[in-house]
Structure 1
């Protein structure tokens, strides 16, 4: 039964029978047969389909909710048994918004020092994708904004406050200032994250509130590295979180200037599934997140 529920979750992620079968490492006929067997066991139609996947029935959506719980509990049980036998062993997957990627190492490095048999995969994703991947059991945890949009069925651990800076050359407009307002920032060319990123939506709202109207950026990317590499040339400017700018490294020519009026702060935190018991890998990550939050407050 568990393997069939895993197949159902894969289908929810991929929305395509062939891709879901590939993800599960089986042929498409084997995959389709397993879904049909699950429907026969439960006595309901779960998937709307003709020659292709069309979506889930109402019963299928309800079974998906149960599948997430059952599969998550099954994974937690296996991890706990393994931990009792060998200590923490496994693969921890974390999805983080681009502006928080520079902080991930402050979680993973001390974690690995304590649990050297754990390996990591880190994904760069939008805030919406972080929560979707968490819900669909594609990742064990996420790092995202926890005070700006609904988190759904997730537990959050606050890590640090994101404060915003104008990062620009000292010779560029506003580059000689000790602080700038959002209204002033809205009047200069900027390179920013793409509109699907929550950081960009936050910046847009702040600029609009300051009376800057609709923002037109000179360059957009879903990668903070791309933005910062342009800013480092001294010919571009951007709005970045203070901690990220410091992590990426300011050159002698670059300045990180506080943006005030209004002074905006948003909380970044670790999010994990709101279910008990948590997997041992996730329990250890939550513990590390609390230690990191204490260090950042000091």
Structure 2
């Protein structure tokens, strides 16, 4: 079995189209088809449902797909490791998934990674926590940044590193009446026109399971929240790291929230697999020195 045959199969499974898969692999469509047939012969099973067009994977093909991704990931890590030893620092690509609330913390890590691995590239894609976990488990991501929740904390396939305890803050324009206050109770915040982050944004409840705030607008990025705050009408509930996005002239007030105060662990997640790939190790080594493993 050749690595490139496995690469052709995984690409076809992801693209679900022979023509696109062949183009991405840099080969003709007949060459791609012949390679996959050779892979099937080597494994002794049919991997794809034959037809005039792509019609899906067989049951055996579905089982081979995650193994194929893992083998290709390991092979890529081997090449990166050997190349990095020759050139100083890794080559290849660091693939990260980042939830909107964690974007402000990302530069501390990417700057350190770039300094140590100038020949490598970094891709940071906005994702939900669920997408990040699936990406790491499926070898599509090297790591991620997100808020710690029960699903992540209980996942034995993930290693977690706490980066900070993020306090939830109330944000408002400088001329808003609440700007003069030192702290804002959640019950007062919910009386204002609020914009918050989208799915997965944690807010405390009233004891009966009812959230203490009702967002008028949800955004999938901190930049979207900032744009609404600059407009002058909207207030927001944001993580403490939001302060890094403010320009000197914004004047936006950030106030602690009480009753209750809410702090959430911001964590980096990566595969707990041993051994970890060189890229995953390089990501882990670039996490802030004060971070503690969980």
Q: TM-score range by the shorter chain?
A: 0.7 to 0.9
Shift of 1:287: 1.2
Paired residue for 2:77? 76
Q: CA separation in 2, counterparts of 1:247 and 1:3?
A: 44
Paired residue for 1:157? 161
Report if aligned partners of 2:147, 2:267 keep a CA contact under 8 Å in 1: yes
Q: CA separation in 2, counterparts of 1:207 and 1:26?
A: 60
Give 3-state SS (helix, strand or coil) of 2:196's partner. strand
Q: CA separation in 2, counterparts of 1:207 and 1:226?
A: 28
Distance 1:253 1:247, change over 3 A: closer
Q: CA separation in 1, counterparts of 2:115 and 2:46?
A: 48
Paired residue for 2:95? 93
Q: CA separation in 2, counterparts of 1:102 and 1:44?
A: 48
Q: CA separation in 2, counterparts of 1:184 and 1:18?
A: 58
Give 3-state SS (helix, strand or coil) of 1:104's partner. helix
Paired residue for 2:138? 136
Paired residue for 2:271? 273
Report if aligned partners of 2:169, 2:255 keep a CA contact under 8 Å in 1: yes
Q: CA separation in 2, counterparts of 1:54 and 1:189?
A: 49
Paired residue for 1:260? 258
Matches within 5 A, 1:240-255: 240-249=238-247, 251=249, 253-255=251-253
Shift of 1:78: 1.3
Distance 1:232 1:60, change over 3 A: same
Give 3-state SS (helix, strand or coil) of 2:71's partner. helix
- Give 5+ residue unaligned stretches, structure 2: none
Q: CA separation in 1, counterparts of 2:241 and 2:117?
A: 27
Report if aligned partners of 2:15, 2:21 keep a CA contact under 8 Å in 1: yes
Q: Which moved more, 1:250-259 or 1:49-58?
A: 49-58
Q: Which moved more, 1:225-234 or 1:65-74?
A: 65-74
Deviations 1:258-288 (A, max 9, x none): 1222222222222222323323232122111
Give 3-state SS (helix, strand or coil) of 1:4's partner. helix
Give 3-state SS (helix, strand or coil) of 2:144's partner. strand
Distance 1:12 1:236, change over 3 A: farther
Q: CA separation in 2, counterparts of 1:252 and 1:85?
A: 47
Paired residue for 1:61? 62
Task: Note if 1:39 corresponds to 2:40.
Answer: yes
Q: CA separation in 1, counterparts of 2:222 and 2:173?
A: 17
Q: Aligned residue pairs: how many?
A: 288
Shift of 1:108: 1.3
- Give 5+ residue unaligned stretches, structure 1: none
Please report the TM-score for the alignment, with normalisation by the length of structure 1: 0.82
Paired residue for 2:187? 183
Q: CA separation in 1, counterparts of 2:156 and 2:49?
A: 26
Q: CA separation in 2, counterparts of 1:260 and 1:231?
A: 21
Paired residue for 1:104? 106
**Corresponding residue to 2:232 among 208, 211, 234:** 234
Give 3-state SS (helix, strand or coil) of 2:45's partner. coil
Matches within 5 A, 1:175-214: 175-195=179-199, 198-199=200-201, 202-203=202-203, 206=205, 211-212=210-211
